[in-house]
Amino acid sequence: MAHSTATIDMGDPLRPYIPPNETPEEKKKRIQHEKLAKKHSEAIDRQLKAEKEEKDKQKDAKLLLLGSSESGKTTVLKQLKIIHGKGLEAERQQYRRIVYINILTAMKALTNAVTDLGYKLKIENNQQHLEKFQKLTSIKESLNCNSFTIQAAMKDQKLDDDALDLYREHVDSIKALWNDPTIKKCYNSASEIGLQDSAKYFLDNIDRISKSDYLPTDEDILQARVRTVGVAEHKFEINRTIYRIYDVGGHRSQRHFWAPYFDDVDAIIFMAAVSAFDQTLEEDIDVNRMTDSIQLFDTICNNPLMINTSVILFLNKIDILQNKLTFTQVKDYFPDYKGNNKFSSVTKFFQQQFLDCFESEDKHTYVHFTHATDTKQMRVIVASVNDIVQRENLRESGLI
């Protein structure tokens, strides 16, 4: 059987469709409609062109935020949300549970120290409160948690309820114990007992935090401590530049996540707690935290993938360092230190310890002494970091 095929003339698909037997009135309406459609199309084209030009003006910058655990990386990200983001409102409610956990953890460490150091409470009635805390094996176990992380603290509603219940159960004991001179004496051994830097801040504000309608302030959130696990990407726009900042956990068990992010980085912000010269790692009590930071800095800066990457060094927690130097000698922990125990000499010494790590003299390095919980200071430093990144981009482009 023979087959035949028929070809249907579809016309030019780009030409406007003209109905057959079109009346003059229909033609007039069609032409008006086509004019409006063309005008609308041209407006869209202009908008797309403007958006493209605007996007071309904007540049992306990729930054890695690195450093040992508890160096202040998360605090810097909170500051960026305040200064160049949408603020902290979206996470305010969730940080309430973190504040409660921070306070419980602090008092647990202090009461453990009373026993470990062989002290006796000055206020006799506080013994019952001490015994109440001693019944807690740990705050994590009391809340049935394996670990406190940003992810868990933000998502687990049950953790919120459990933390509130545990806090309310112990708040009277916390208030009573914080007023005991022996507990204050234990606080002076904060570095030895693993007490968080923000412990005094929260314990001094215990009455405000204990109110039924309590909601954390920006300062509370900046002071709150919670562990980062894995890698988190954060985007901020600063002076027409989109910054992609990657925050990675500083705990030793988390550092294997770092390497894949070393490629195509505009700059590294490395954070070190300069106040941690008398502390040891939580994961290894035989390793000094400052020594660990310096060794980590050495490894990163001399990594082959980082040879041409600018480094911005934040020597953080200078406020804590200044206070600590009034009663702790740096030379007791760093015998090579020969200067006096004054802030200027100590910071100069530690800055040089980091700068001596560089194997290449051509490395572009910028150093800032920071107080990451101070928003006013961080505004200035963030602006400086933006200038540094832009200047380095111009240098790479051969424009300067």
In the annotated binding site for Mg(2+), the residues are 74, 228
| Cα 343 from Cα 345, distance rounded (Å) | 6
Binding site: which residues? 70-75, 197-198, 222-228, 316-319, 372
Name the nearest CA neighbour of 315 among 62, 64, 61, 68: 68
| Residue positions forming the annotated binding site for GTP | 70-75, 197-198, 222-228, 316-319, 372
Smallest CA-to-CA distance from 158 within 94, 92, 226 is with: 94
> CA geometry: angle at 28 spanning 27 and 29, to 5°?
90
Per the structure block, which two tokens stand in for 31? 């032409």
Q: Tokens 């800032």 correspond to what residue?
A: 368
Q: What are phi and psi of 46, to 5 degrees?
A: -65, -40
Cα–Cα distance measured from residue 205 to residue 201, given in angstroms and rounded to the nearest whole number = 6
Nearest to 96 by CA among 286, 224, 251, 203: 224
Backbone angles phi, psi at 65, to 5 degrees: -105, 105
Alpha helices for 85-123 (secondary structure H): 92-116
